[in-house]
Amino acid sequence: MIAKLGQRFNAAGIGSAARVLLRDRSLMLPHVHVPDISWIDWRALKERGFAGVVFDKDNTLTAPYVATVWPTLGESLEECRKCFGENVALLSNSAAGLYQFDPAGVEADALEKSLGISVIRHGSKKPAGNADALKKRFGCDASLLVMVGDRHLTDVVYGNKNGLLTISTEPLTLKGEPFIVTRVRRFEDAMLRRWKSSGLKPPPHSLHTTEFDFIKDPGCW
Ligand SMILES: [Mg+2]
């Protein structure tokens, strides 16, 4: 029980989030926002020069605490794999891959088998931490990678502060999500709406031009 609470409590994340709210609000804004990953044009990303994709897990690829891909997203994930080959990986704030909670990599191994994507082993929860584990895994500069995730205060802030292109998704389901995460998510949404309407933009990225980049049929939603 204590271990589970430890896994869910993200002290570094709370500290980092506080800094964002006080100083670097633009870090919370994604370069692109889509309803879910099936809207992402993987080929366009590859053609623009991106070399790899880093996915969040819970509520981006799977339901929270579930080890199988959300049923309607399998095809898009396969397209992503076809475009980027081995350069597709998972960076999760769940126990899998975190040295603190999964030191032998048992959960990461199981997740790799279940999802068919490699799980990056790392030392801190997003948004804390630098991009060293990514550079080691992908062998390229972090600016050539795309971070895809459903949480602005974790996935987007982590990606933006480390120079990745950031794509945010709507959560797949609120069922099974911890109460505190749902409350923080509402807070994030309210802040984002306010900041966007005041004209705030995400940090500049050399391979990004508009918020409609890399979206299939952007006029459809
Ligand atoms: Mg998530």
Q: Residue 60: which of 135, 115, 21, 14 has the closest Cα?
A: 115
Spacing, Cα 200 to ligand 1 middle (Å): 24
From the CA of 14, how far away is ligand 1's center (Å)? 15
- What is the CB-side half-sphere exposure of residue 61 using CA atoms within 13 A? 29
With 80 as the cut, is the pLDDT of residue 1 above it? no
pLDDT of residue 23: 77
Q: Do 118 and 97 contact (CB within 8 A), yes or no?
A: no
Lowest-confidence range among 46-50, 126-130, 138-142?
Answer: 126-130
What pLDDT score does 2 carry?
A: 46
CA of 39 to the centre of ligand 1 (A): 17
Residue 160 has pLDDT above 50, yes or no: yes
Expressed in angstroms and rounded, the spacing between residue 167 Cα and the centre of ligand 1 is: 12
The alpha carbon of 55 and the centre of ligand 1 are apart by a number of angstroms equal to 9
Ligand 1 center–CA 197 separation, angstroms: 25
Q: What is the pLDDT of residue 124?
A: 87
Q: So what's the architecture of 2-203 in CATH?
A: 3-Layer(aba) Sandwich (3.40)
Q: Would you call 101 helix, strand, or coil by DSSP?
A: coil
Check residue 175 and give its pLDDT.
86
Structure tokens given for 134 = 């990514």
CA 87 / ligand 1 centre spacing (Å): 20
Among residues 192, 122, 51, the alpha carbon closest in space to that of 184 is found at 192
Q: How far away, in angstroms, is 201 Cα from ligand 1 center? A: 22
Domain ranges of the chain: 2-203
DSSP H or E stretch at residue 2: helix 2-8
- Write out pLDDT tens, residues 171-182: 999 888 888 888
Centre of ligand 1 to C-alpha 85, Å, is 23
Collapsing DSSP to helix, strand or coil, 149 comes out as strand
pLDDT digits (tens, 9 = 90+) for 4-58: 544 555 666 666 666 666 778 999 999 999 999 999 999 999 999 999 999 999 9
Instruction: Quote the pLDDT of residue 51.
Output: 98
**51-107 pLDDT, tens digit each:** 999 999 999 999 998 999 999 999 999 999 999 999 999 999 887 788 888 888 888
Report which of 27, 7, 22 is spatially closest to residue 181, judged by C-alpha positions: 7
Q: How many CA atoms lie within 13 A of 165 on its CB side?
A: 25
* Inter-CA distances, 173 with 76, 140, 169, Å: 18, 33, 11
Confidence of residue 221 (pLDDT cuts 50, 70, 90): low
Higher pLDDT, 142 or 196: 142
More confident residue, 217 or 157: 157
